[in-house]
Amino acid sequence: MPVKALVLRTAGTNCDEETQFAWEQAGAEAERVHVNRLIENPKRLADYQILTIPGGFSYGDDIAAGKIFANQIVHHLADVVQEFLAADRLVLGICNGFQVLVKCGLLPGSDGARVTLAQKATLTSNDRGLFEDRWVHLRVDTDRCVFLGQGEVIDMPIAHAEGKFVPADAMPIEALEKGNQIAVRYVDTDGNTGAGYPWNPNGSVGDVAGLCDATGRIFGLMPHPERNVLPWHHPHWTRRGAGKEGGGLRVFRRGVAYFA
């Protein structure tokens, strides 16, 4: 039986088709489902092994990026999401999806992560006050996340106005580092952190581009792995050769391989 991935969308989501395609390229059977359909029948979530919240601008980011979508999950889907996680399933949040996971409490989370509006971090406006649309280099800094391989440097594009990661006092950056939860960091062309703008395009504390929870099964990141799936997705593919696949595809392949 193929691994089944749910791509959960809502008004303003605009990366759901690319995310479905990425899962399919990785060997999964993927389906796009509107959140209202899942709220009508929450038990439907048990049909999937992977829950994905893709990028976009859910509800226009009218209150704060991802906040309304996060509220829907907390108030309508918390119980089934907890059951889903207890069954050793995976969760991936990309860009707006990362914002949703942070604002419904699943990231950074804690041991036995719970769906809750008690945030321990936020993703707020970029330092320059502008929408940033560019390619970045990411270094994998954890061996915990099932979607990643420690030490890798992966190129991905970003496209966001509220991507600056800021931890709360209750879980400072040092605690996340000690817990091995900083999954990916923005780095320069030599793989070094601390390079500033444009390498860190939003001013994220600690150059954080993505987090995992304590189990490594919940992963969120601001850059878009689904936009670097085919070799010619990368802007430099004609110079360095097409290769077999884009670097972002490995995120989806590892998610599928978890259930092999």
Mean pLDDT by 10 residues, the chain (260 residues): 96 97 98 98 98 97 93 96 96 98 91 74 96 97 96 96 91 90 97 96 98 96 97 87 86 97
Residue 242, pLDDT score:
65
Task: Give CA–CA dist 113/132, Å, rounded.
Answer: 31
Strands (E), 99-181: 121-124, 132-140, 153-160, 164-167
Instruction: Spell out a b/e string for 124-154, using b for 16 or more CB atoms within 10 Å of the CB, else e.
Output: bbbbeeeebeebbbbbbbbebbbbbeeeeeb
Residues 6+ apart with CB under 8 A from 141: 150, 182, 183, 184, 185
Active site amino acids: 95, 224, 226
Q: Hey, where are the domains in the chain? A: 4-257
Q: Report the pLDDT value the prediction gives residue 237, as an integer from 0 to 100.
A: 85
Quick one: fold of 4-257? Answer: Rossmann fold (3.40.50)
Angle ∠(79,212,210) on CA atoms, nearest 5: 120
pTM of the model: 0.96
